[in-house]
């Protein structure tokens, strides 16, 4: 017989803090924390709980509403100029940075500087100088610095990579990816911070990482153009849509080119809602992926396609009634955050203090999410942003050479013989 009078086990707790509590918090971080507070088990670590302890946001309004809805007592709701500092001072173990992309660097820097593990939403940062600073700081402080690219955990993309790794698909020659967001994203959701931004940095970056992580290789050049006039003035710095091209070279010396088209001005009633398509052509095959052809198409009178989606992605972040009666929310968008928490737990709780450095090195070597493995993606983002900024200033059609004749990142503009150096070191 089991002794049921035994004292309940008190589990170790990892405490997390959020910077930004917007759309992506609602979709992935909130369901992660709400499940993880009940406990996670890992064979190498044992059982532990993860708690959301506080947040740093612009106004504090959404954090307040979230706390009230969940009845969270003692939650630290920080806003104002020193919000991130106040959150860090409250004694968290890890920081999740999910503020607008041009605010990632400073929050992540403060977190790492304070000796906390940090995870940043994609795109991690907007320049290689920023990336260098964060990776060096993380090393010096002995913490993990990671980035979220949930598409790498999409079962379809895992299958693609498996076929490439196993040599079933050989040498990628070229491909295209498109991701189209509805107008409500640029017009309402992001209206507060959209000026000067572009949909390439926001979503093409998912495919930059997919291509970089899946096919490897060396990034050689980046070019980009785009359109304006809907989200902002036609001669302004805010972009409706972008078309980005990357050229890679592989160990064999052969090249591949990839085109990535993105927009955030697609009509809201477009049945794809968020429409995603990829095609990669290999020496011996073709991979086609289409978000609307995953198999489900739902119509509900007066509710689809706005309130309910017509083509639902049940793999990313779905709410379900499980066959055993429980309600759940799960998918790869949530799993990717849990992976990070497991990595932190492995470092902090996974064995003797004397071996922490080995555990840290093991987790930092996971190049699907470590910041140190994000160099070519950040290089492409920085190149794209610089080309678009020049375009908006009246100098379109630039091209950036990566580790070429002039050095790390060199922006060549038509009619000018000398490049503008965006990054001097090797990418």
Can you give the binding site for ligand NAD, defined by CB under 6 A? 19-25, 56-59, 62, 98-101, 103, 121-122, 148, 150, 189-190, 202
Nearer to ligand NAD, 103 or 294 (CB): 103
Q: Nearest approach, Cβ of 290 to ligand NAD (angstroms)?
A: 18
CB of 379 to ligand NAD, least distance (A): 18
Token code pair at residue 200? 């390439």
Handedness of CA 324, 328, 333, 339 (dihedral sign): negative
Shortest Å, Cβ 21 to ligand NAD: 4
Residue 331 or 408 having the CB closest to ligand NAD: 331
Nearer to ligand NAD by Cβ, of 57 and 241: the residue is 57
Q: How far is the CB of 276 from ligand NAD (least distance, A)?
A: 11
- Beta carbons of 218 and 403 less than 8 angstroms apart: yes
Q: How distant is the alpha carbon of residue 73 from its chain centre?
A: 30
Q: What's the CA gap between 256 and 240, in Å, rounded?
A: 27
Using an 8 Å Cβ cutoff, are 275 and 286 in contact?
no
Residue closest to 208 by CA, chosen among 195, 222, 188: 222
Smallest CA-to-CA distance from 338 within 36, 2, 8, 12 is with 36
Q: Which is nearer to ligand NAD, 59 or 367 (CB)?
A: 59
Q: Smallest distance from the beta carbon of 59 to ligand NAD, in angstroms?
A: 6
Let me know: does 94 contact 119? Beta carbons within 8 Å.
yes
Least gap, CB of 233 to ligand NAD (angstroms) = 22
Q: Is 82 helix (H, G, I), strand (E, B) or coil?
A: coil
Residue number, 123 or 350, with CB nearest to ligand NAD: 123
Rounded Cα gap, residues 184 and 154, in angstroms: 25
Indicate the SS3 state at residue 114: coil
Q: How far is the CB of 198 from ligand NAD (least distance, A)?
A: 12
Length of the chain: 427
Q: Tokens 């070279």, residue?
A: 249
Q: Which is nearer to ligand NAD, 152 or 402 (CB)?
A: 152
Nearer to ligand NAD, 176 or 193 (CB): 193
* Contact present, 328 and 320 (Cβ < 8 Å): yes
Distance of CA 129 to the CA centre of its chain: 19
When CB distances to ligand NAD are compared, the closest residue is 22
Smallest distance, Å, CB 94 to ligand NAD?
16
Contact status, residue 294 vs residue 311, Cβ threshold 8 Å? yes
Q: DSSP readout, 85-104?
A: HHHHHT--SEEEE-S-GGGH
Q: How far is the CB of 396 from ligand NAD (least distance, A)?
A: 25
C-beta of 427: minimal distance to ligand NAD in Å?
A: 22
Residues 6 or more apart whose Cβ sits within 8 Å of residue 393: none
| Helix or strand (DSSP H, E) at 410 | strand 409-412
Q: Which residue number, 86 or 420, has a Cβ lying nearer to ligand NAD?
A: 86
Rounded to 10 degrees, the C-alpha dihedral 136/141/143/149 comes to: -30
**Beta-carbon neighbour count of residue 235 at 10 Å?**
10
DSSP 3-state of 294: coil
Specify the residue, 26 or 165, whose C-beta has the smaller distance to ligand NAD.
26
Considering beta carbons, is residue 334 or 402 the nearer one to ligand NAD? 334
Nearer to ligand NAD, 126 or 247 (CB): 126
Compute the least distance from the CB of residue 18 to ligand NAD, in Å: 8
């Amino acid at each position: 017989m089991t002794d049921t009078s035994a004292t309940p086990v008190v589990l170790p707790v990892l405490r997390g803090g959020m910077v930004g509590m917007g759309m992506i918090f609602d979709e992935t971080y909130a369901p992660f924390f709400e499940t993880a507070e009940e406990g996670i088990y890992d064979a190498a670590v044992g059982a532990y709980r993860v708690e959301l302890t506080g947040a740093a946001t612009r106004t504090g309004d959404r954090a307040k509403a979230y706390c009230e809805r969940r009845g969270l007592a003692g939650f630290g709701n920080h806003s104002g100029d020193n919000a991130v500092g106040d959150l860090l001072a409250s004694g968290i173990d890890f920081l999740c940075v999910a503020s607008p992309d041009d605010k990632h660097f400073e929050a992540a820097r403060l977190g790492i500087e304070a000796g906390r593990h940090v995870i940043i939403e994609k795109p991690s940062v907007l320049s290689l100088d920023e990336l260098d600073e964060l990776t060096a700081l993380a090393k010096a402080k002995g913490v993990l610095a990671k980035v979220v690219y949930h598409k790498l955990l999409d079962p379809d993309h895992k299958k693609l990579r498996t076929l490439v790794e196993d040599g079933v698909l050989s040498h990628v020659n070229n491909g295209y990816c498109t991701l189209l967001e509805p107008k409500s994203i640029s017009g309402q959701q992001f209206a507060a911070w959209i000026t000067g931004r572009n949909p390439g940095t926001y979503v093409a970056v998912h495919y930059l990482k997919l291509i970089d992580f899946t096919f490897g290789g060396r990034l050689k050049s980046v070019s980009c153009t785009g359109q304006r006039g809907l989200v902002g003035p036609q001669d302004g710095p805010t972009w409706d849509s972008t078309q980005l091209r990357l050229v890679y070279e592989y160990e064999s010396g052969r090249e591949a080119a990839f085109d990535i088209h993105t927009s955030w001005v697609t009509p809201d009633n477009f049945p794809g809602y968020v429409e995603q398509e990829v095609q990669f052509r290999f020496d011996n095959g073709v991979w086609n992926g289409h978000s609307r052809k995953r198999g489900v198409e739902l119509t509900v009178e007066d509710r689809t396609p706005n309130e309910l989606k017509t083509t639902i992605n049940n793999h990313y972040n779905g709410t379900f009634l499980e066959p055993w009666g429980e309600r759940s929310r799960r998918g790869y968008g949530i799993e990717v955050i849990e992976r990070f928490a497991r990595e932190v737990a492995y470092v902090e709780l996974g064995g003797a203090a004397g071996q922490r450095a080995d555990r840290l090195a093991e987790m930092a070597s996971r190049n699907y999410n470590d910041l140190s493995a994000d160099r070519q993606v950040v290089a492409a983002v920085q190149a794209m942003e610089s080309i678009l900024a020049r375009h908006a200033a009246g100098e379109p059609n630039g091209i950036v050479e990566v580790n070429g004749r002039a050095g790390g990142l060199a922006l060549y503009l038509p009619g000018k013989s000398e490049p503008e150096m965006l990054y001097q070191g090797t990418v």
